């Protein structure tokens, strides 16, 4: 007897976790097999909602749900309201595989969105591709997912290669000729370390030393000692979540004075990080892939803040804004999919978007380009967690 995707994934990864809170509904037996009924379109998400990296999943979902709420209040997409089914994978790729299989086999979702982290996306994509289910806008910028067009994978955020290029070209411009890299000991960290080293060579910036750090590290004193010995002109951090705070706590307590640079996923809860680090977040330079959430001069930010006020959404962060933008672009693809949407028509709808702007935020798609945005800026944290250009 042939095993279903769900059964195969559960054998490999264990039992699925429960539904998360929010606008979340499990499938009913009479729902359409491709996630579409006369009144609804069901979208699935597996992401991290518990553990050290939970802020990414919680904030990303909040932003996605916020725009879906706006659309649903206005009658939905071509008369269908959007349902979001979510599961917690706790940052564990094995659980991501289980959740993805459940979303496809049991919940019968139309498409997937809002996944978080490189290894988790790698675990989900083979299942999505085999089932022909589109994966839209994972919170992943790793270059290996972007070099070739995958029919079922669409990005919105700029790639980490563009973020690292922005950082390293800036360092080269201001005369810094050597760096050290502290990277997360995971698929995300290792893959983007290789990209960083290639870009550094392009800009003739020497990588003196590289240091892995475990996701669940309790301290980074050994790494800091190594940095003191290396004496780099700057330190580039390829990490995400609370491990960034662990590193910065020990780094700021040392005599090492090299400036710090991080990717956009380095800090999610900036106000919380600033408080926990007692102001020592100040001076950290970060790549940003969306405008500041307080920049009301940008139309899509003004829309986001208006909807936060109307729907009572308390979460306000760069990641939440990114989720809001993601949902807005996704809804445009659903609209273009037509009154009887199929997964093929959704893919075609996204590819038909071409080069355009959503509230002044640039996006470009075609049959040969699923990478979305190239927007990257550099900002610096103040003591209270606010960002300054």
Q: Is residue 154 part of a domain?
A: yes
Q: Are 135 and 112 in contact (CB under 8 A)?
A: yes
Q: Are residues 90 and 111 in the same domain?
A: yes
Q: What is the CATH number of the domain that holds 227?
A: 3.40.50.2300
Instruction: Write down the H helix ranges in 132-235.
Output: 160-173, 187-202, 221-230
Distance CA 136, CA 113 (A): 5
Question: What total number of domains does the chain contain?
Answer: 2
What is d(CA 351, CA 361) in angstroms, rounded to the nearest whole number?
17
The answer to whether the CB of 67 falls within 8 A of the CB of 251 is: no
Write down which residue in 254, 269, 288 finishes a domain: 288
Looking at the structure, tell me whether residues 77 and 134 fall in a common domain: yes
- What are the tokens at 20? 């998360």
Helix H or strand E encompassing 209:
strand 206-213
In a domain? residue 167? yes
Q: Do residues 154 and 249 both lie within one domain?
A: no
- Does residue 191 share a domain with residue 256? yes
Q: What pLDDT does residue 389 have?
A: 75
Whether residue 40 is contained in a domain is answered as: yes
Number of other CB atoms surrounding residue 362 within 10 Å: 13
Measure the CA–CA gap between 9 and 117, rounded to whole angstroms.
19
Residues 136 and 167 placed together within one structural domain of the fold: no
Indicate if 262 and 210 belong to the same structural domain. Answer: yes
Q: pTM for this one?
A: 0.87
Q: Which domain holds residue 14?
A: 5-158+298-372
- CA–CA separation, 327 and 335 (whole Å): 12
Per-residue pLDDT of the chain (389 residues; tens, 9 = 90+): 334 444 444 444 433 333 333 344 433 333 467 999 999 999 999 999 998 889 999 999 999 999 999 999 999 999 999 999 999 999 999 999 999 999 999 999 999 999 999 999 999 999 999 999 999 999 999 988 999 999 999 999 999 999 999 999 999 999 999 999 999 999 899 999 999 999 999 999 999 999 999 998 999 999 999 999 999 999 999 998 889 999 999 999 998 999 999 999 998 788 889 999 999 999 999 999 999 999 999 999 999 999 999 999 999 999 999 999 999 999 999 999 999 999 999 999 999 999 999 999 999 999 999 999 999 999 999 998 888 87
Same-domain check for residues 26 and 165: no
Read off the tokens for 64.
Answer: 């996605």
Q: What is the pLDDT of residue 15?
A: 35
Task: Determine the distance from the C-alpha atom of residue 78 to the mean position of all C-alpha atoms in its chain, rounded to a whole number.
Answer: 28
């Amino acid at each position: 007897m042939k095993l279903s995707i769900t059964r195969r994934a559960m054998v490999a990864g264990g039992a699925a976790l429960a539904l998360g809170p929010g606008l979340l509904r499990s499938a009913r037996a009479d729902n359409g097999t491709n996630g579409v009924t006369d009144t609804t379109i069901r979208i699935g998400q597996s992401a991290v909602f518990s553990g050290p990296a939970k802020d990414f999943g919680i904030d990303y979902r909040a932003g996605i749900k916020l725009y879906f709420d706006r659309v649903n209040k206005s009658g939905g997409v071509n008369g269908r309201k959007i349902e979001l089914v979510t599961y917690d994978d706790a940052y564990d790729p094995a659980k991501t595989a289980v959740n993805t299989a459940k979303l496809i086999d049991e919940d019968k979702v139309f498409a997937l969105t809002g996944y978080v982290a490189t290894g988790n996306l790698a675990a989900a994509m083979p299942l999505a591709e085999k089932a022909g289910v589109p994966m839209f806008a994972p919170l992943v910028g790793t270059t290996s997912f972007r070099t070739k067009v995958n029919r079922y994978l669409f990005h919105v955020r700029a790639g980490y290669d563009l973020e690292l290029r922005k950082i390293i070209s800036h360092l080269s411009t201001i005369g810094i000729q050597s760096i050290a890299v502290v990277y997360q000991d995971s698929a995300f960290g290792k893959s983007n370390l290789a990209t960083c080293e290639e870009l550094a060579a392009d800009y003739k910036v020497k990588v003196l030393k590289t240091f892995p750090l475990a996701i669940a590290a309790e301290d980074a004193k050994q790494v800091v000692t190594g940095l003191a010995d290396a004496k780099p002109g700057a330190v580039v951090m390829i990490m995400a979540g609370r491990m960034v705070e662990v590193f910065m706590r020990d780094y700021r307590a040392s005599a090492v004075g090299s400036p710090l640079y991080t990717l956009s996923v380095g800090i999610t809860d900036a106000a919380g990080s600033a408080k926990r680090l007692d102001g020592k977040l100040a001076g950290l330079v970060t790549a940003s892939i969306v405008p500041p959430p307080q920049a009301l001069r940008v139309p899509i930010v003004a829309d986001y803040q208006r909807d936060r006020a109307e729907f009572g959404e308390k979460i306000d962060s760069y990641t939440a804004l990114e989720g809001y933008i993601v949902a807005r672009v996704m809804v445009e693809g659903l609209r273009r999919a037509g009154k009887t949407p199929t997964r093929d028509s959704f893919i075609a709808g996204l590819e038909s978007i071409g080069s355009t702007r959503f509230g002044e935020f640039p996006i470009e798609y075609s049959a040969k380009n699923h990478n979305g945005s190239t927007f990257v800026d550099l900002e610096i944290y103040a003591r209270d967690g606010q960002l300054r250009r």
